[in-house]
């Protein structure tokens, strides 16, 4: 899995969402975590350097994986663009049924 540019990641993420929607009941898994640029393990309790703190975004659909690293100064812009991708591609979400139905059944 190679790192891509932030804008390229968002384009590919939109493509993954479209493929998942067209193929049926597949899920796109997106994860985020703090990233300090190290590729080897570090003992627990080692503090992160504030100037090197970044965020690693990963997305997976089946066996396709994409990832990007977002610098601390770019997080707000990336998050706005990410929310835009989510809004355009998550159109088939179903509303949850309200719990009022359970309460009326219990009273009857």
17-29 per-position pLDDT tens digit: 999 988 876 889 9
User: Looking at the domain assignment, is residue 92 inside a domain?
Assistant: no
Q: Which helix H or strand E contains 102, and what residues bound it?
A: helix 100-107
- On whether residue 17 sits in a domain, the answer given is yes
- Say which DSSP state 44 is in: T
Residues 6 or more apart whose Cβ sits within 8 Å of residue 72: 53, 54, 55
Residue 25 falls within a domain, yes or no? yes
Within a domain: residue 96? no
Say which CATH number the domain at 62 has: 3.30.720.10
Q: How many domains does the chain have?
A: 1
60, part of any domain? yes
Range of the domain at 66: 1-38+49-74
Q: Residue 21 and residue 92: Cα distance in Å, rounded?
A: 9
Q: What is the pTM of this model?
A: 0.75
Tell me if 7 is assigned to some domain: yes
Residues 13, 85 contacting (CB under 8 angstroms): yes
In-domain check, residue 16: yes
Does the residue 83 lie in any domain?
no
Q: Which residues of the chain have pLDDT under 70?
A: 1, 25, 48-51, 100-108
């Amino acid at each position: 899995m190679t790192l891509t540019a932030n804008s390229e990641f968002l384009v590919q993420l939109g493509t993954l969402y479209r493929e998942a929607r067209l193929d049926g009941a597949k899920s796109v898994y997106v994860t985020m975590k703090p990233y300090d640029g190290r590729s080897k393990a570090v003992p627990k309790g080692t503090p992160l350097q504030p100037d090197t703190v970044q965020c690693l975004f990963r997305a997976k659909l089946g066996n396709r994986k994409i990832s990007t690293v977002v610098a601390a100064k770019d997080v707000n812009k990336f998050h706005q663009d990410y929310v835009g991708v989510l809004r355009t591609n998550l159109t088939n979400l179903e509303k949850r049924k309200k719990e009022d139905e359970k309460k009326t059944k219990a009273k009857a």
